[in-house]
Chains A and B, each alone.
Chain A
Amino acid sequence: MIRPADCLVLGAGPAGTEAALAAAEAGLDVVLIDEQADAGGQGWRAPLSGLTMPRKGADAEAGDGLRARLAASGVDRRLGRRVWSVGGAFRLDAVGPDGAEAYEAPRLVAATGAHERVVPFPGWTLPGVIGLAGATVLLKAQAVLPGRRVVVAGAGPLLFAVAAGIIAKGGEVAAIVDMDGRLAWARRLPGLARRLDLLKEGLGWTWSILGARVPFLAGHGVRCAAGRSEVEAVIVGPVDADGAPIAGPERRFACDALAVGHGLVPGGEVPKILRAAHLYDRLRGGFIPELDPYGRTTIENLYACGDGTGIRGARPSAVAGRLAGLAAAHDAGRLDATAFTALAEPTLQALADYRPFADTVAGAMALKPAQVAAITPATVVCRCEDVSRAEIDAAVDAGAGDINQMKHFTRCGMGPCQGRMCGDVAAELVAQRRGVTRETVGYWTQRVPLRPVPFDTMIGSFDYADIPIPPPAPL
Chain B
Amino acid sequence: MSQAPIYDLGVIGGGVVGSTLALLAQRGGLSTALLDRGPLCREASGVNAGTLTLQMTRVALIPHAMRAHAMWASARDWLGHDVGVVVCDGLSLAFTEREAALLEERAGKRRAAGAPITIISRDEALRVEPGISDRTLMAGHCVVDGYANAYLTGQAFRAALVDAGVAVMENRGVSGLDRTDNGFVARTAQGPVSFRRVVLAGGVWIEPMMAWLGVHLPIKVLVNQLSVTERIRPVMRTVVGIASGLLSLKQYPHGTVVIGGGWQGIGDRERGGVELVPERLVGNIRLACHAIPELAGARLARAWAGLEAETADALPAAGPIPGIPDAYVCGSIHSGYTSGPSIARSLADVILGREPDLPLFPIDRLMKAAPP
Contacts and interface: CB of A to CB of B under 8 A. Distances in A.
**Band of interface residues on A:** 35 or more
B245 interface: yes
A416 B285 contact: no
Interface residues of B, number: 60
A409 B152 CA distance: 6
B158 A399 contact: yes
A84 B275 contact: no
Interface string A395-438: 10011111011011100001110100000000000000000000
Interface stretch (A86-94, A114-122, A361-369): A86-94
Contacts of A459: 282, 285-286, 289, 296
A87 B278 contact: yes
B169 interface: no
Chain B at the A interface: mostly helix, strand, loop or mixed?
Answer: mixed
A447 interface: yes
A469 B46 CA distance: 26
Nearest to B302: A447
Contacts of B295: 455
B193 interface: no
A408 B246 contact: no
Chain A at the B interface: mostly helix, strand, loop or mixed?
Answer: loop
B282 A470 contact: no
B301 A452 contact: yes
A378 to B, nearest CB: 21
B334 interface: yes
Interface in A444-475: 445, 447-449, 452-456, 458-459, 462, 464-465, 467-475
A23 B267 CA distance: 32
Nearest to A273: B275
A141 interface: no
A454 B299 contact: yes
Interface string A88-106: 1001010000001010000
A275 B300 contact: no
Interface string A110-131: 0000000000000000000000
B246 A470 contact: yes
B42 interface: yes
Interface string B11-42: 00000000000000000000000000001001
Contact of B42 (A85, A404, A470): A404
Contact of A398 (B158, B243, B274, B303): B158
Interface in B267-289: 271, 274-283, 285-287, 289
Contacts of A452: 230, 299-301
B296 A456 contact: yes
Contacts of A399: 39, 155, 158-159, 162, 170
Given A275-B274, A459-B286, A405 B296 contact: no
A473 B262 CA distance: 9
Contacts of B69: none
B299 A455 contact: yes
A414 B304 CA distance: 13
A109 B59 CA distance: 50
Given A455-B296, A459-B296, A472-B245, A449 B286 contact: no
A455 B289 contact: yes
Most buried by B among A398, A399, A401, A409: A399
B79 interface: no
B264 interface: yes
Most buried by A among B171, B275, B283, B286: B286
B42 A84 contact: no
A471 B72 CA distance: 29
B191 interface: no
Contacts of A402: 39
A398 B159 contact: yes
Interface of B: 39, 42, 46, 56, 58-59, 95-96, 102, 106, 109, 135, 151-152, 154-155, 158-159, 162, 170-171, 229-231, 243-246, 262-264, 266, 271, 274-283, 285-287, 289-290, 295-304, 314, 334
25 contacts: A395-B155, A399-B170, A400-B155, A402-B39, A405-B39, A405-B42, A405-B154, A408-B42, A408-B151, A408-B152, A416-B231, A447-B276, A447-B304, A449-B301, A452-B299, A454-B297, A455-B285, A455-B296, A458-B285, A459-B296, A464-B95, A464-B135, A472-B245, A472-B246, A475-B109
